[in-house]
Amino acid sequence: MILQPVLNPLLLVLLCAPVAAAIVWALVKVRGPRWIWALRMLMLLAAFAMLLRPGIPGGSSQTLATDTDVVIAVDTTASIVAEDWAGGKPRLDGVRADVQKIVDEYPGARFALITFDATAQLRLPLTTDATALISSLDVLRPEVTAQSRGSSIGVANELLAKTLQSAAKAAPDRARMVFYLGDGEQTSQNEPESFGTAQKYVDAGAVLGYGTVDGGPMRITTGRGATGSEYIEYQGQEAHSVIDEENLGKIADQLGVEYEHRTADAEITLPEAPKTTTDYAESGEVGDVVELYWVFALIIVLLLGVELARATMLVTRMRGLAVPSSAPERGAQRRDEGRPSSRFARSGPGSRILSEERSDETKDPRRDEGGGR
């Protein structure tokens, strides 16, 4: 079984721990049926297991694990979007495709990404997260055309040497590979810097060249990193970028690696990883993975059904308790409706005779005798 958590497992524990503590407190302190709190604890555990995304691997096989540090240096000057790749596409498309092949060729390796135009930048430090490398290339854009003042193809020499030196100190047993991807076009007035300082740290790699002798036009790159519809012009004409394989060959000699001219219709030839840094490891993640999170989702649904049924019963019981309290009042009201009102009783003929009799009884006898006299 393998786990593919939606969040870091430690973060999942931190999220679920307070809820679990509250449920345990309720089990110990709260009066009443405790089975409902036990079901709620089961529901929490099912949710935790579901977020871990367990699964069953579709198969297993031996895969190559490369114990190597791979540093990739990519040219991001305006010429990298020259449209002479695969019949009119930007060279950057070829760069991205080849970097993907490099990642596939050396599984388990650590990758670092350096980009260079007017200056060199370490875009991605050494990491085993190949997805981060591909994502960095997907959002990669060339330098802004309006800010371009010429660049050197060797501007990344110091940063490359420092990156390799740091990797050698941190893990001296690991091999180091360098891949330089560019067109070799030197637009700076100075001589290109040498990569000879980095050679002693390089065990293998390649210099990959992009472009054609005829060259290709380059679209203007705006300040937002997007590519416009207009093309770069030079002295009133459309500017073209051409490959300089002589410069690329010199860089390959300085690094002690091979040079390869890349075209869209040719398969890339990558060097083998150093033998001392490769090993075969049993992998259980080959093929499709059968997801099992739905089992725990079904358990949660069933437990929520129990909660809903219990809530419905409680509401019904409360309504049943409220009905008897109002019944006597309604009965008394019905009995009162059957009786004549006091006002009606006094206003009838019988009440008039009764009142006359009462008035006769209350007459003073002496007054009658006095009247007779």
Res 324: pLDDT: 57
Res 149: pLDDT: 73
How many whole angstroms separate alpha carbon 8 and alpha carbon 16?
A: 13
HEC sequence for the chain: CEECCCCCHHHHHHHHHHHHHHHHHHHHHCCCCCHHHHHHHHHHHHHHHHHCCEEEECCCEEEEEECEEEEEEEECCHHHHCCCECCCECHHHHHHHHHHHHHHHCCCCEEEEEEECCCEEEEEEEECCHHHHHHHHHCCCCCCHHHCCCCCCCCCHHHHHHHHHHHHHHCCCCEEEEEEEECCCCCCCCCCCCCHHHHHHCCEEEEEECCCCCCEECEEECCCCCEEEEECEECCEECEECCCHHHHHHHHHHHCCEEEECCCCCCCCCCCCCHHHEEEEEECCCCCEEECHHHHHHHHHHHHHHHHHHHHHHHHHHHHHHHHHHHHHHHHHHHHHHCCCHHHHHHCHHHHHHHHHHHHHCCCHHHHHHHHC
Res 314: pLDDT: 86
- For residue 287, pLDDT over 80 is answered with no
How many whole angstroms separate alpha carbon 73 and alpha carbon 276?
A: 24
Average pLDDT over residues 266-282: 75
In terms of pLDDT, which residue wins out, 150 or 129?
129
Average pLDDT over residues 183-212: 95
* Class (C level, CATH) for 62-283: alpha beta
Average pLDDT over residues 232-246: 89
Res 261: pLDDT: 97
How many whole angstroms separate alpha carbon 181 and alpha carbon 137?
A: 12
How many whole angstroms separate alpha carbon 64 and alpha carbon 68?
A: 12
Residues contacting 47, CB < 8 A, separation 6+:
16, 296, 300
Average pLDDT over residues 120-132: 93
Residues contacting 168, CB < 8 A, separation 6+:
176, 201
- For residue 366, pLDDT over 70 is answered with no
In terms of pLDDT, which residue wins out, 163 or 3?
163
Res 347: pLDDT: 47
How many whole angstroms separate alpha carbon 209 and alpha carbon 273?
A: 21
Res 285: pLDDT: 42
How many whole angstroms separate alpha carbon 30 and alpha carbon 33?
A: 9
Query: pLDDT tens for residues 148-173?
Result: 777 899 999 999 999 999 999 999 98
In terms of pLDDT, which residue wins out, 340 or 161?
161
How many whole angstroms separate alpha carbon 129 and alpha carbon 108?
A: 9
Q: Are 111 and 70 in contact (CB under 8 A)?
A: yes
Question: Looking at 199-213, 221-235, 324-338, which range is the least confident one?
Answer: 324-338
Question: Looking at 96-105, 122-131, 318-327, which range is the least confident one?
Answer: 318-327
Residues contacting 275, CB < 8 A, separation 6+:
none
- For residue 267, pLDDT over 70 is answered with yes
Q: For 270, list phi and psi in degrees, rounded to 5.
A: -105, 145
Res 357: pLDDT: 47
Sorting pLDDT into bands at 50, 70 and 90, what band is 58? low
- For residue 95, pLDDT over 90 is answered with yes
In terms of pLDDT, which residue wins out, 315 or 249?
249
Res 199: pLDDT: 96
Highest mean pLDDT out of 11-20, 125-134, 256-265, 277-286: 256-265
Res 143: pLDDT: 84
Average pLDDT, the chain: 82
If we measure between CA atoms, which residue out of 293, 248, 310 comes closest to residue 79?
248
Average pLDDT over residues 201-229: 85
In terms of pLDDT, which residue wins out, 206 or 231?
206
Res 137: pLDDT: 93
Average pLDDT over residues 52-74: 76
Sorting pLDDT into bands at 50, 70 and 90, what band is 278? low
Res 249: pLDDT: 97
Q: Are 240 and 234 in contact (CB under 8 A)?
A: no
- Where are the domains positioned within the chain? 1-59+288-354, 62-283
* Longest CA span, the chain: 163
- For residue 125, pLDDT over 50 is answered with yes
Measure Cα distances from 219 to 95, 98, 237, 311, 319 in Å: 17, 22, 13, 66, 75
Residues contacting 316, CB < 8 A, separation 6+:
none
Res 344: pLDDT: 42
Q: For 172, list phi and psi in degrees, rounded to 5.
A: -65, -20
